[in-house]
Amino acid sequence: MAFPTSWTDPRYLVAVSGVLAVGALAVVLRSSGEFTPLLFGAGVLGVTVIAAAAMVLWPRID
């Protein structure tokens, strides 16, 4: 990696969980037959906003 990080760094865990959430969203939408670019885009945007908010607010949570 380009920067030193730890598996226990909460920001790293939020980023990884965001990637997993987007993958799970794609699988669920695909298996339910409801996959559309609009729904997937809205889901990705939602996951991104939640992850960004968590990363921004993390120093204040301590």
pLDDT in tens, the chain (62 residues): 456 667 777 777 787 888 888 999 999 989 999 889 998 999 899 888 888 888 788 765 54
In a domain, 5, yes or no: no
Q: Is residue 3 part of a domain?
A: no
What's the total number of domains in the chain? Answer: 1
pLDDT of residue 31: 93
Alpha-carbon span 1 to 16, nearest angstrom? 14
pLDDT on residue 5: 63
The token pair at 10 is 């909460």
Asked if residue 6 belongs to a domain, the reply is no
Residues 6+ apart with CB under 8 A from 14: 51, 54, 55, 58
pLDDT at 60: 59
Owning domain of residue 54: 11-61
pLDDT of residue 2: 57
Is residue 38 domain-resident? yes
Residue 43 falls inside a structural domain = yes
- Could you tell me the CA-to-CA distances from 37 to 4, 30, 32, 57 in Å, in that order? 35, 11, 14, 30
